Structure 1
Amino acid sequence: MKYLCLLFFIAGSNALYAAGIDRNLLTIGNSYQLNADTDTIVRKKSLSVGVSYGSDALFFGRTGPIKYPFVTGDAIYNTKSGVFIYGSVLKVLGYAPVDEVDVGGGYFYKFSKSFSGAVSYTRFIFNKNANVIKSASSNDINFKNAYDWKLFKTTIILDYLFGKSNDFFTTVSTSKYFETSWSIFDDKDYLSFNPSFNVIVGTQNFVQRYEVDHNYQYVLPPAVLENLNLSAARRNRIFNVLNYSFKVPVAYNRPHYTLEASWRYSMPVNVEGSLENRRESFFNFTFYYLFY
């Protein structure tokens, strides 16, 4: 967006399109979000606050055994120097009052008009009864770099997650941002679009950790439990393609706020453990307001 600051909730994480600040909602000009899919960077002191709804929690291309629709409240404070801090509160609908709280910070850098990036650290704090698959991890170190080729933008995100399980992820995204040259209600609003194709490569030790933490109660029938071979979990350590996805966000923008709706089609591959992930559509709705 013309007036937006850095909104960096990775993108990702991508770390989670559903728990805490969405890394794709906190991004560098790209989703988890606060809209990371439809902005450009303005280096100035600012505060962004937002709320979002998601149809299911998606964590690096994997979902839990049942759907977990959620709502989040997010805030990010940016300084002129490029340092930023952020926080997020997550509630899975129908469960605990608060399932997760995320806090973190980082630094945004820009090498040229076309090449920018950010490094950040996030701490995930879960309710002890949290059921989202992300709950197997409690820390994330994230590096994100984006290069704008004009015809399209390439973004590469590196994540190291550690806690009860350790995992590495690389997310590669190709996107094309464009906005309308005409207004909707007056000369201060416009629509923006940023369709993208994304590939996630990484390990998936978090899947086995999630199963152990929940005593396999959600994912394995009794007949399978009797003959369970835990050595199969070794395959989770392999660095492999985890997911392909398409995302189409559409946003209505004004100088200080944005309303965005997005659709993502997720295609999990190389699914290990016992989670029966399948192709699925995800819907997200986000509103955020910018103070500066």
Structure 2
Amino acid sequence: MRFTSLVILICITSFKVQAQQDSIKKTTITLAALYSSNVSYYGQATNEKLPYVLVNATVRFPIGIYLSGGSYKLLNYGSGISETDIGAGFDHDFNDNFSTGIAYTRSFFPENSPLLQASNENNLNLSVKYAWPWIKTSLSTDYAFGKQDDIFISLAHSKEIGIGTLFNEKNTLTLEPAIELVAGTRHFYESYTIEKSKREKSNGKGKSPVSPGNSNSTITTTVSSDSFNILSYNFKLPLSLSRANYLAEISYQLSLLGPKAEAELKRQQSFFGLAFYYQF
């Protein structure tokens, strides 16, 4: 939500303009607008390309509690809102290097949604972050539940590299390459396949896909949904320009699926994104 690495709250709840250290001493409001060339659900994407835009608002209080709400619009699917999220969470910094967080997100999807995550309307996230001398490490666990239940674990390493300034010393350019490994279960894919079959039938595209060796099945899966396997390897390269109250970002992500990925998911996918954040 993160559609990441959904998800989930799309990293807006940890707004990157943290250079202004006084922001943690007062209530802040962060507004965000994002564009992505495709939907990524923990690095996974369907064969159908779904570019989208997102708007979000997050209110963060000095004690570490925050509230967030946002809406997504798929640019090539339907005429209404494609997803609405509301969430709440709590972050705690033990020191300059070590922090933890807990967050809950409730998502609302329209009927016949083409999104992989449409059956998991709820998401509970636990995260731990540690800044080593040379890299930052993040370990995140998500329990996604609703019509289906899934567990996802993400391990990421990143390195913030200061490039310099643009126009004047107040505009800072930063590059933060990251690698991420995601593992989890696949119950969400069962619901996605069923809903996809319904959409194809209603559009007159014929019979639903059939699993090899089972002519009575309408669900296409390659591994057990209960199996906990590698879902994706993600390589991220965001370039950001920040000032006192805003941050603009352009990003690229390359995702490679694990060896037991479903046939209808793209095994290699590139994502391009643009984002703008403003904090009051």
TM-score if structure 2 supplies the norm length? 0.88
1:13 maps onto 2:23 in alignment: no
In structure 2, stretches of 5+ residues that fail to align are none
Structure 1 residues 272, 290: closer, same or farther in 2, change over 3 A?
same
Asked if the contact 1:183–1:190 (Cα under 8 Å) also holds between the matched residues in 2, the reply is yes
1:1-292 paired onto structure 2 within 5 Å: 10=2, 13-16=4-7, 21-22=9-10, 24-27=11-14, 34-35=15-16, 39=18, 42-44=23-25, 45-94=27-76, 95-180=78-163, 182-215=164-197, 222=207, 224-225=209-210, 227=215, 229=217, 235-291=224-280
Number of residue-to-residue matches in the alignment: 269
User: Which structure: larger Rg?
Assistant: 2
Asked if the contact 2:209–2:220 (Cα under 8 Å) also holds between the matched residues in 1, the reply is no
Asked if the contact 1:87–1:101 (Cα under 8 Å) also holds between the matched residues in 2, the reply is yes
After the TM superposition, which parts of structure 1 deviate over 3 Å for at least 4 consecutive aligned residues?
A: 24-27, 38-42, 220-224, 228-234, 270-274
Equivalent residue of 2:111, what SS? Answer: coil
Q: Compute the RMSD of aligned alpha carbons.
A: 2.5
How much does 1:81 deviate? 0.5
**Identity fraction in percent:** 25
In structure 1, stretches of 5+ residues that fail to align are 1-8, 28-33
TM-score if structure 1 supplies the norm length? 0.84
Q: Distance in 2 between matches of 1:232 and 1:57?
A: 21
Asked if the contact 1:236–1:272 (Cα under 8 Å) also holds between the matched residues in 2, the reply is no
Structure 1 residues 178, 211: closer, same or farther in 2, change over 3 A?
same
How much does 1:106 deviate? 0.8
Asked if the contact 2:129–2:137 (Cα under 8 Å) also holds between the matched residues in 1, the reply is yes
Asked if the contact 1:208–1:273 (Cα under 8 Å) also holds between the matched residues in 2, the reply is no
Asked if the contact 2:253–2:270 (Cα under 8 Å) also holds between the matched residues in 1, the reply is yes
How much does 1:231 deviate? 9.4
Asked if the contact 1:208–1:233 (Cα under 8 Å) also holds between the matched residues in 2, the reply is no
Structure 1 residues 65, 221: closer, same or farther in 2, change over 3 A?
farther
Structure 1 residues 222, 60: closer, same or farther in 2, change over 3 A?
same
Equivalent residue of 2:100, what SS? Answer: strand
Q: Distance in 1 between matches of 2:142 and 2:55?
A: 23
Structure 1 residues 267, 39: closer, same or farther in 2, change over 3 A?
farther
